[in-house]
Chains A and B, each alone.
Chain A
Amino acid sequence: MQLTINGARIDVAATDDTPLLWVLRDRLGMTGTKFGCGMALCGACTVHVDGVATRACITPISVLAGKKIVTIEGIGATPQGKALQTAWSKVNVAQCGYCQSGQIMSAAALLAKTPKPSDSDIDSAMTGNICRCGTYPRIRAAIKQAAAGLEKKA
C-alpha cells in the first residue's frame, strides 16, 4: 500500500496489521520514531496523522491510507516543529534523548492547537510521554520558550 510520510508518497510492502512504527523503522529506515512500550503507554513513537498526535506502535497501516503522516524527521518543516527543535537545543533538554522525538511530536501537536499553552495544557498534552531521565522541567521550559518565539513572529 501507499503511505504519505513527510509529504512524500511511499510504497510500503508490509501486511495490513503492521503498526506504522515498524514500517517506519524496519521497512523504511526512519528510526527517529522510537519503540518504548508497544501499547501506547509511553509516547516514544508519537507521530502526527492529519495533524493529530498518534501512537505509531498501535496504529496499523491499514487505517492510514490517504492520511498525512508527519514524523520527527519531517516536523522541522512546520513552524511549531522548528521552534520546538530550536528551543530544545537552547534549553539543552535532552539527557539520553531517546524519548525526545516523541516529546517534540506531542509538543508540536499541542502548539498547533494551543499556541499559548498553560501549565495544565502542557501537563495534559505531555503526560502520555514518559521520560525516564527526568527532563520534564526542561521540556516544560522549552515548550514555553517555543510558544513565546512563535508568538513574537506571528
Chain B
Amino acid sequence: MSAQMIQRRTFLAGLSGLVLVASVSRIAKAADAAKYGADGMPHGWRDDPLTFVAIGEDGLVTVVVHRSEMGQGIRTGLPIVIADELEADWSKVRVTQAPGDEEKFGNQDTDGSRSMRHHFDPMRRVGAAARTMLEEAAAASWGVPVTSVRAVNHEIIHEQSGRRLGYGALARAAAKLPVPARESLRLKNPAQFRYIGKENIPLLDGDDIYHGRAQYGIDTRVDGMLYAVVARSPVFGGKVARFDAAAAQAIPGVVKVLEIPGTPGPALFAPLNGVAIVAEDTWIAMKARQALQIEWNDGPHGTYDSAAYRTELEEAARKPGKVLREAGDVDATMSKAARKVEAEYYLPHLAHATMEPPSAAARIVDGNCEVWAPTQAPQATRENVAKRLGLPVDKVTVHVTLLGGGFGRKSKPDFATEAAFLSQQMGGRPVKVVWTRDDDLHHDYFHTVSVEHLQAGLDAQGKTTAWLHRSVAPTIVSTFAPDPQHEAPFEAGMGLINVPFNVPNMRIENPAAVAHTRIGWFRSVSNVPHAFAVQSFVAELAAAAGRDHRDFLLDLIGPPRRIDPSALKDSWNHGESPLRYPVDTGRLRRVIETVTREAGWGRKLPKGQGLGLAAHYSFVSYVAAVVAVEVSADGKIVIPRVDIAFDCGPQVYPDRIRSQLEGAVIMGVSLATLGEITFKNGRSQQDNFNTYQVTRMAEAPRDIRVHLLPATDWSMPLGGVGEPGLPPIAPALCNAIYAATNKRIRQLPIGEQLAT
C-alpha cells in the first residue's frame, strides 16, 4: 500500500474531501480508466535494459534494483530474474540500488507485497532484451545471421564455426544497438530456467551484512556531517508552546538548537513539530535533548486514552453501522436460527519497531539536495523533501540505502524530510537525524486499533445460515484527509468484505471511528484484525456446532470456485484485475488441506496441548497455518511447531519465500503474545523493548515447517509474499490455545490472560 494507491483508490470510489498530496500527474493518472497490477501504480513499470543492466568490459553484470531492500530479498530476487533471461553467469552478477526516480525506473513504492508480483515480467524482458543485444552484436561481428548464434552462460556461441565471445568483449558494441521491440523478445522456456525457482542462491548482500560492511540509512557518513535528534510533540497534533535551549546549548559539541515547525491538518508524511539538537555526534545530541526545557500545547488529541477509546469502539460495534456488503436477509435468518453465536474481538495499536529506527541524512550543495534514506517510498521521499525545501523535484536526489526493517513504517518518509529541513537550516551542511527507540515508539504511524463484532446463526444441523461482521477501526485515510471515519475500500478489501464463505445471508458493517494518532500501514495492514476475528470466530462456531474445525471451515468455504471480487463488493482486490486474480476457493481449500495433513491434524495430544488452524487470503496469495501449543498449568505458552502452507503461484526465489513465511510466523507470534501500544493523555506509553516487548529467541517457535504449493505453470499470475503469512498466525495460535485449554482469547495481546 502506498499513499498514491490510497489516493487512487479513494478517488475511484468517489470519496470527496480528500487532501491530495500527490503531484498533478499522479492525480491525472488516477482519473484514467481502471488499470490493474503494475499498470495501476503511479509510473507503472519500465523494462528498458539500458536502465536496469550494465555490463563492463570485464564481463561483470551490474543489475539496478529499483525496489527497496528491507529483508524480503528483492536485491537478490530481481537480479535472479534478469540474470536468468540474460543467460548470465551468476558469479559475475552484482547489484546496485536505483535512486528515487519513477519516471526512469517505474513505480518504486516497496509495499503491498508487490515487488516481484509486478516486476517479474518486466525484468524478464530486461534480461531477454539485453541478451538479444549481445547476440546481435556477436552475430554482426562474425557476419553471421543472428539466428545462428545463442547465449550460453555469459558467452555468445556460433556453433557452426565454434566461435565464441564473452559478454565483456561484446558489451560496448551491444550497448550501441537499438533496444529490440518488446514483442520481438524471446523469453526462456521455464524448463530452461537456471536461477528462477532454484535453491541454494545466497543473498548478494549476505557477506557485507555478516562482516559489518552493509550500509543502512543510519550508517550514512558524509564529510562534515552533523548529527541530530529531535524532541517531538508527545501528542499527535501538539505544538511547541515555548522552549528554553540554554542548558542544551551549553553542552560542548552542541552546534545548534532549533525548532522544526509542524504543518496543520492531516499528518501526511510531514515532520512533526519539535525541537532539534544538532551536534558533533549522536551521543552529544541525545544528552542535550535531555537538557531541553519544552512546554507543549497538546491540542485536541491530548486526552486520547486507549482504554476509554476501546469502550467507544465497543459501543459503536454493538450498533448498526455503514453497510459495506449485504446478501440475503441476515436479521430474519438470525432470528430463526437454531443457535446464535456472538463474539467480540479487540486488537490494540502496534508499533513497527524496525530494528533500525527511522534515520536519514541530507546535504544541500548549490541548490541540489541529496538525501540518504532507508525508504520504502523513494519517489514520495523525493517529492516531500522538494516540497518542504521549496525545490523543484529534479533538484532532489534520494539515495536509497538498505532498510533495517520496514514493515510499512518506512513508507512514510517524515524522517527524511526532517534531515533535509535541518540541512537547509544549517546552510546545506550534511545532517543525519537519528530516531531513538523511544522516538520510534512514541511517534510511529501506528497500526490501527480495532473492535471486531461478529454474530452468526446456525441451523439445527450446525450449518451457518447467517453472518454479521462489524469492524470498527480508525482508518489510514485519516493520515491523509481530514476526519474520515470509515474504512477505505483497500482496508475493507483486506479480509473483511471479501471473505469467500458460502453463507446465503451475510452483512458486513463498518460503524464510524475517529483517529487520534497517526495511523499507518503495518505489515498485512487490516488483514491482521480481520483475519484474527474471522478465523477465531469460525473456530468458535465449529465448537458451538460440535464439529471438527477444519471440516467446518472447509464447509463454510464451500466447493472450489472462482469468485469475482466484485460479487463480494470488493472494488479493490489488492489493485489486481478481477479476471486474472479472482478469489479461488479451490486454492484456499488446498492450503488448508495441505497444512492440516502435514501438521497431523486430528492426532491425539496430551492434556494442555493443542493444534489450532487458521486460513486467510490476502495480497492475492493463499495461506493456512497450524500452530501447535503447550500451555502449562500456570498459563505459560510454548510453541514447539508451526506448519504453514502457502500458495503464491509461481515461486521465483523459494528460499526467500520460506524466509518471509518464517518471519511472518514469528512476527505473528510476537503480536499475538506481546504486542501492544497504549495511550494515556495522548501519549504512547511504551518507551523501549522493555515495555514494548517483541518475541525473542527463547520464545520463538523452534520448528517452522513451510509447505510451498507448486504452481501449475509459469503463466499463472504471481501472488504477494511479504505480507500474507502474517494474518493467520494469531488466530491459529489462539485456536490452539482453545484446543489445549478450552479458554478463548478474544483480545490481543494474550499477555497474562492465561495466568492462573
Contacts and interface: CB of A to CB of B under 8 A. Distances in A.
A32 B356 CA distance: 12
Contacts, number: 182
A26 B404 contact: no
A39 B202 CA distance: 33
Given A73-B212, A94-B210, A132-B355, A34 B689 contact: no
B460 interface: no
Contacts of A92: 202-203, 206, 655, 659
B355 A89 contact: no
A68 to B, nearest CB: 17
A123 B697 contact: yes
Contact of B207 (A89, A95, A122, A133): A89
B209 interface: yes
A90 B206 CA distance: 10
A135 interface: yes
B688 interface: yes
A94 B209 contact: yes
Interface of B is mostly: loop
Contact of B694 (A31, A72, A130): A130
Interface in A34-75: 34-39, 41-42, 44, 71-73
Given A92-B206, A123-B697, A137-B704, A31 B667 contact: no
Interface in B76-111: none
Contacts of A99: 355, 404
B206 A89 contact: yes
B281 A95 contact: no
A116 interface: no
Contacts of A90: 202
Given A97-B404, A99-B355, A127 B667 contact: no
Interface of A is mostly: loop
A41 B688 contact: yes
Best-surrounded residue of A76, A97, A119 (most CB of chain B within 10 A) = A97
Contacts of A123: 697-698
Contacts of A80: none
B662 A135 contact: yes
Nearest to B221: A29
A14 B281 contact: yes
Best-surrounded residue of B209, B436, B689, B695 (most CB of chain A within 10 A) = B209
Interface size class of A (residues with CB under 8 A): 35 or more
Contacts of B662: 134-135, 137-138
A41 B666 contact: no
Interface residues of B, number: 64
Given A29-B221, A76-B211, A139-B697, A96 B406 contact: yes
B281 A133 contact: no
B437 interface: yes
Given A36-B355, A37-B689, A85-B210, A136 B697 contact: yes
A39 B688 CA distance: 8
Interface in B259-291: 281-283, 286
A100 B666 contact: no
Interface string B303-335: 000000000000000000000000000000000
Best-surrounded residue of A14, A88, A126, A133 (most CB of chain B within 10 A) = A133
Interface of B: 69-73, 202-203, 205-207, 209-216, 218-219, 221, 227, 252, 281-283, 286, 353-357, 402-407, 434, 436-437, 655, 659-660, 662-667, 670, 688-690, 694-698, 700-704
15 contacts: A32-B213, A36-B437, A39-B437, A85-B210, A96-B406, A97-B209, A99-B355, A100-B209, A104-B210, A126-B697, A127-B697, A129-B697, A133-B355, A138-B662, A140-B702
Given A36-B355, A73-B212, 10 more contacts: A25-B219, A26-B281, A41-B689, A129-B696, A131-B697, A132-B353, A132-B694, A134-B665, A134-B667, A137-B701
Interface of A: 14-15, 18-19, 22, 25-27, 29-39, 41-42, 44, 71-73, 76, 84-85, 88-90, 92, 94-101, 104, 119, 122-124, 126-140
